[in-house]
Amino acid sequence: MSLLHIAIVSPLLYSIFIPIFYKNFHRIHTGWFVLPLPVLLLIYFLSFLTNITKQNTVIESMQWIPSLGINFTAKADGLGLLFALLITGIGALVVSYSIYYLAKDKEKLNTFYVYLLLFMGAMLGIVLSDNLVVMYAFWELTSFSSFLLIGFWYERDQSRYGAQKSMLITVFGGLSMLGGIILLYIMTGTFSITEIIHQSPVLFQHDLFVPALICVLLGAFTKSAQFPFYIWLPDAMEAPTPVSAYLHSATMVKAGIYLVARLTPVFGVSSVWFWLVAGVGMITLTWGSVFAIKQTDLKGILAFSTVSQLGMIMSLLGVGSAALHYDALDNNIFTVAVTAAIFHLINHATFKGSLFMVAGIIDHETGTRDIRKLGGLMHFMPITFTISLIGTFSMAGLPPFNGFLSKEMFFTAMVRVTQMDIFNLETVGVLFPIIAWVASIFTFLYSMMLFFKTFTGKHQPEKLEKKPHEAPLGMLIPPVILVSLVIIFGLFPNLLSESLISPAMASILPSLLGAGEEFVVHISFWHGFTIEVFMTLGVILLGIILYKTLPKWIKAYGIMPKKFSLFHLYDRLMEGSQSVSYKVTNKYMTGSIHSYLVYIFAFFILILLLTLYWKEAFRLDSSNVSSIGIYECVLALFVVVSSISILFVKSRMTSIILLGAVGYTVSLYYVLFRAPDLALTQLVIETISVALFLVCFYHLPKFHRYETRMRFKITNALVSVGVGLVVTAIALSAHSQKLFHSISKYYVENTYEEAAGKNMVNVILVDFRGFDTLFEITVLAIASLGIYGMIKLRIYRRKDG
Amino acid sequence: MEILMAFVIGILFMTATYLMLSKSLLRIIIGTGLLSHGAHLLILTMGGLKRGTVPLLGEHAEHYTDPLPQALILTAIVISFGVTAFFLVLAYRSYQELGTDNVEDMKGSEQND
């Protein structure tokens, strides 16, 4: 166990102590005890930076289940480290924010921080595991801890609904990802991502390649809230705002992005990958940005905006995978998509984190998050106002913030798609920049809405629960740090390019690098009058026009009926599956013995007849049969007549007597077939049975009054004739093909020599196979004890008789 | 003879099944009785019929009937007797307690499930 392993599991271990701190130091906010851990981890992960820029990855392995090839291998390379820094850095800020956001005497802080630390450890585990099974274990742990965090205020219906929805969707994706992992293991024989990447050139031809790809992508898409699985994210906004800021903007929703980036070297060469990742990303980008306009809740807008931005990063990763088809590194203009994806990933984490915190502050200080009630907050909350100015303008892609740079690179990447000459992109490639441009207009629009509707316009004090005022300093520090990063990365983007972006690109596109090479990333503000600049200008211009005319066309959203929304479809699916399974179960579980017996007999008939038919097992061979005598024929007639007439008699007495007649005839059969012991036993037992029947049923009062004939029912008749036929057919078939001789010769020869008896049947019963007899005696003993108990023990008696 | 017996056994199984599908508890028990007769005869028939004398060594015969199926049937008769007796008393008691022998009326209701 190395220091890296300890770093990964330290949040999990530390969470054990949180309730102790909470109980014993109740006067200090528990968050203060949590805060040092992410800070320490952040410093620890920063210490890897020098190593990573020299392209040295750190790999530490620890045995877990070596016989199955499952080892806890931790690998810190460019991509993993980038995510680890995001998780610990934003984690530290979110913890310090939550100290001021959650009141220490009203909330259950111990559970909150335990869940949060569980989540942090799980996220670190995902991004730093090299073993797919270990990664899957941490992946599900993020689903669970996120479920717990969304449902933190469990007294609210909406929280529980959101938690359940996110759980169902992400666990569905997680399970299909596990399927993809298993398929990868079948193809490669290893769970190690590094080794799978080494084998990737041959993987492409394997039959299971596309199924594995789709399974893995389902996992990534559900976790990263891609279309159509994004529906859990807006409902997850019921969580406390620090949770939304941490999980649903910066970290968990990027786990899917991480997975796609991590497995690009494995699957990226395939056209299915390109179209799925880029296409779904594009759809999500547009869909999320278009529907963000419709929201009235601050966190709702931010949720849709997160969906949209995640779609943008996803589409960039998809487009970036096409770079694998072009060799020359010096002239590979398509790698810019991957650069843009990583850069925007960082940028999105900074500005979206700060915006969520701002939304939390507004909620905290005014009592509402509804933009229809807000307005004119600029003068009351100047610092919050500044933070959200920077955040929203960066989100909209305006200079001089970092969002502008990544948006420019996004446009560059999409424009360059038109130059690609693979996967039919010569013709359809032109759609990419157009969709990207339209989506950017909507992004601009909702960013402006978010900002101007909250802070400018008329102040409406009558609609607010509290008198708005500036937030406490502690609550403002984390978003201030984040927006200062927005400005720093905006003004000096090359701080990141050498240290983080280039190593992360080396992890995503390793095959493009020769020995000792590295990606040269240079991000600059100004490239001259290129097409991207005009696209940005167009976005701003059209965005302003649309914003000014917003009240006129916002009603267009009402055209699409609510019935067809994906949220409604999800609810219908849930209700539908529940009611369908309820109906199906009620249909066949009737509670009546009769119908269950019909199922059992029908399956008995069907399966045996079909087997006889398919195996061609039915034979009729009369060479091995014994002669028919007149006595046997008469007895057969007796059995048949009396057993059939049981079906038609009215009185129960008669049917009991007819059953006795069958029994005595059977004992006569035993006489004819040379079985004296059987005949003796059968006679005695039949007598006792008939006596028992009569005792039980003759003396019951008012019994004969209800006596009727059995009603004829066609199903019963069909089933019983079928059973009879099947038994006859199997008996004939079995008798006609004897595979080997009986072992009875041994008994005949040894009954006297070995066991000193002359009656073979009795010797078999008590000597050769005495154990059968022992337990048959036990059966009789149990039956008699049971009968005695039933008659004597009467604890409960019905009062109404 | 075995072919004739196969049909006799088939008819026993058929009537047993029909009785077991009825509503009256008594008929169901009569059905199980018929079913066990059919099964015993089936075991005997499958062992081969009339292949020699009674399986007693004192007969000094050349061929004896196979003693193994007879031993198996003897065990089966005793066990099915035990089960039938138990079942009969169970039916008797349930009639006493519930006042019906119709199995369709014996579905658990919400109070006494």
- pLDDT tens-digit map of A784-794: 999 999 888 87
Give the integer Cα–Cα distance in Å for A430 and A410.
14
Among residues A110, A88, A91, A149, the alpha carbon closest in space to that of A25 is found at A110
Give the integer Cα–Cα distance in Å for A512 and A324.
7
Q: Over chain A, what is the mean pLDDT? A: 87
**Is there a contact between B20 and A597 if contact means CB atoms under 8 Å apart?**
yes
Q: If you write DSSP's letter for every residue of A370-428 in order, what string do you get?
A: BTTT----TTT-HHHHHHHHHHHHHHHT-TTSHHHHHHHHHHHHHHHHTT--STTHHHH
Q: Which of residues 699-728 of A touch B (CB under 8 A)?
A: 700, 710, 713, 716-717, 719-721, 723-725, 727-728
Give the integer Cα–Cα distance in Å for B20 and B42.
19
Q: What is the pLDDT of residue A575?
A: 94
B61 and chain A in contact, CB less than 8 A: no
Examine the pLDDT at A41 and tell me if it is beyond 90.
yes
Q: What is the pLDDT of residue A702?
A: 56
How close, in Å, is residue B111 to chain A by CA atoms? 13
Q: Tell me how crowded residue B4 is: count the other CB atoms within 10 A of its CB.
A: 15
Give the integer Cα–Cα distance in Å for B57 and A648.
46
What is the identity of the amino acid at B74? L
Q: What is the pLDDT of residue A249?
A: 80
Are A324 and A269 in contact, with CB atoms under 8 Å apart?
Answer: yes
How close, in Å, is residue A610 to chain B by CA atoms? 18
Instruction: Give the residues across from A71 on adjacent strands.
Output: A63
Which among B5, B12, B52 has the least Cβ separation from residue A643? Answer: B12
Are A34 and A95 in contact, with CB atoms under 8 Å apart?
Answer: yes
Examine the pLDDT at A514 and tell me if it is beyond 80.
no
Which pLDDT band holds residue A561 (cuts at 50, 70, 90)? low
B19 and chain A in contact, CB less than 8 A: yes
B11 and chain A in contact, CB less than 8 A: yes
Q: What is the pLDDT of residue B11?
A: 95
Instruction: Give the residues across from B53 on adjacent strands.
Output: B64
Examine the pLDDT at A665 and tell me if it is beyond 70.
yes
Sequence-distant (≥ 6) Cβ neighbours of residue A229 within 8 angstroms: A169, A173, A221, A222
Residue A588 or residue A331, greater confidence: A588
Which among A597, A676, A716 has the least Cβ separation from residue B54? Answer: A676
- The helix (H) or strand (E) run that includes residue B26 is helix B25-46
CA–chain centroid gap for A321, Å, is 26
Are A612 and A725 in contact, with CB atoms under 8 Å apart?
Answer: no
How close, in Å, is residue B50 to chain A by CA atoms? 6
B60 and chain A in contact, CB less than 8 A: no
Q: What pLDDT, in 10s, does the model give residues A225-242? A: 998 899 999 999 989 999
Q: What is the pLDDT of residue B91?
A: 85
Q: What is the pLDDT of residue A698?
A: 65
Q: Tell me how crowded residue A714 is: count the other CB atoms within 10 A of its CB.
A: 7
N- to C-terminal Cα separation, chain B? 51
Among residues A665, A666, A672, A677, the alpha carbon closest in space to that of A628 is found at A672
* Average pLDDT score over residue span A773-800: 85
Are A233 and A169 in contact, with CB atoms under 8 Å apart?
Answer: no
**Is there a contact between A735 and B45 if contact means CB atoms under 8 Å apart?**
yes
A684 and chain B in contact, CB less than 8 A: no
Q: Helix, strand or coil for residue A328?
A: coil
Q: What is the pLDDT of residue A59?
A: 87
Q: If you write DSSP's letter for every residue of A40-54 in order, what string do you get?
A: HHHHHHHTTHHHHHT
Which pLDDT band holds residue A666 (cuts at 50, 70, 90)? very high
How close, in Å, is residue A617 to chain B by CA atoms? 17
Q: Mean pLDDT lowest for which of A635-649, A777-791, B19-33, B99-113?
A: B99-113
Residue A464 or residue A730, greater confidence: A730
Are A303 and A291 in contact, with CB atoms under 8 Å apart?
Answer: no
Give the integer Cα–Cα distance in Å for A13 and B60.
85
Examine the pLDDT at B100 and tell me if it is beyond 80.
no
Among residues A495, A148, A490, the alpha carbon closest in space to that of A350 is found at A490
Backbone angles phi, psi at A287, to 5 degrees: -60, -50
How close, in Å, is residue B25 to chain A by CA atoms? 11
Give the integer Cα–Cα distance in Å for A34 and A317.
35
Residue A249 or residue A311, greater confidence: A311
Sequence-distant (≥ 6) Cβ neighbours of residue A567 within 8 angstroms: A231, A234, A235
Helix and strand numbers, DSSP H then E, in chain B = 3, 0
Which among B4, B41, B104 has the least Cβ separation from residue A628? Answer: B4
- The helix (H) or strand (E) run that includes residue A65 is strand A58-65
Which pLDDT band holds residue B113 (cuts at 50, 70, 90)? very low
Q: What is the pLDDT of residue A107?
A: 84
Q: Which of residues 120-139 of A touch B (CB under 8 A)?
A: none
Q: What is the pLDDT of residue A559?
A: 73
* Average pLDDT score over residue span A691-697: 82
Q: What is the pLDDT of residue A527?
A: 64
Q: What pLDDT, in 10s, does the model give residues B68-94? A: 999 999 999 999 999 999 998 888 888
Q: What is the pLDDT of residue A525?
A: 58
How close, in Å, is residue A615 to chain B by CA atoms? 21
Backbone angles phi, psi at A341, to 5 degrees: -60, -50
* Average pLDDT score over residue span A136-157: 93
Examine the pLDDT at A761 and tell me if it is beyond 60.
yes
B66 dihedral zone (left: phi>0; alpha: psi -120 to 50; beta): beta
* pTM (predicted TM-score): 0.84
Q: What pLDDT, in 10s, does the model give residues A569-596? A: 899 999 999 999 999 999 888 888 889 9
Q: Helix, strand or coil for residue A127?
A: helix
Examine the pLDDT at A703 and tell me if it is beyond 60.
no
CA–chain centroid gap for A336, Å, is 33
Among residues A358, A380, A383, the alpha carbon closest in space to that of A369 is found at A358
Are B66 and A766 in contact, with CB atoms under 8 Å apart?
Answer: no
How close, in Å, is residue A724 to chain B by CA atoms? 4
High-pLDDT (> 70) share of chain A, %: 95
Per-residue CA distances from B97 to A213, A788, A798, B28 (Å): 64, 16, 7, 19
Which among B26, B37, B90 has the least Cβ separation from residue A662? Answer: B37
What is the identity of the amino acid at A731? A
Give the integer Cα–Cα distance in Å for A398 and A542.
14
Structure-token pair, residue A795:
């604890």
* Average pLDDT score over residue span A554-578: 82
B112 and chain A in contact, CB less than 8 A: no
Q: What pLDDT, in 10s, does the model give residues A180-207? A: 999 999 999 899 999 998 888 888 888 8
B78 and chain A in contact, CB less than 8 A: yes
Q: What pLDDT, in 10s, does the model give residues B25-63? A: 888 999 999 999 999 999 999 888 877 888 888 878 888
Residue A697 or residue A282, greater confidence: A282
Give the integer Cα–Cα distance in Å for A692 and A655.
14
Residue in chain B nearest A711 by alpha carbon: B22
Structure-token pair, residue A669:
């059969």
What is the identity of the amino acid at A409? M
**Is there a contact between B49 and A765 if contact means CB atoms under 8 Å apart?**
no
B46 and chain A in contact, CB less than 8 A: yes
A678 and chain B in contact, CB less than 8 A: yes
Give the gyration radius of chain A's Cα atoms.
Answer: 39
Examine the pLDDT at A800 and tell me if it is beyond 80.
no
Q: What is the pLDDT of residue A578?
A: 94
Which pLDDT band holds residue B5 (cuts at 50, 70, 90)? very high
Examine the pLDDT at A209 and tell me if it is beyond 70.
yes
Q: What pLDDT, in 10s, does the model give residues A472-487? A: 888 899 999 999 999 9
Q: What is the pLDDT of residue A103?
A: 85
Give the integer Cα–Cα distance in Å for A44 and A10.
12
How close, in Å, is residue B69 to chain A by CA atoms? 9
Instruction: Give the residue from A656, A752, A787, A799 with the most B CB atoms within 10 Å of its CB, the best one to mutate.
Output: A787
Three-class SS of A745-784 = HHHHHHHHHHHCCCEHHHHHHHHHCHHHHHHHHHHHHHHH
Q: Mean pLDDT lowest for which of A88-102, A382-396, A419-433, A676-690?
A: A419-433
**Is there a contact between A643 and B11 if contact means CB atoms under 8 Å apart?**
yes
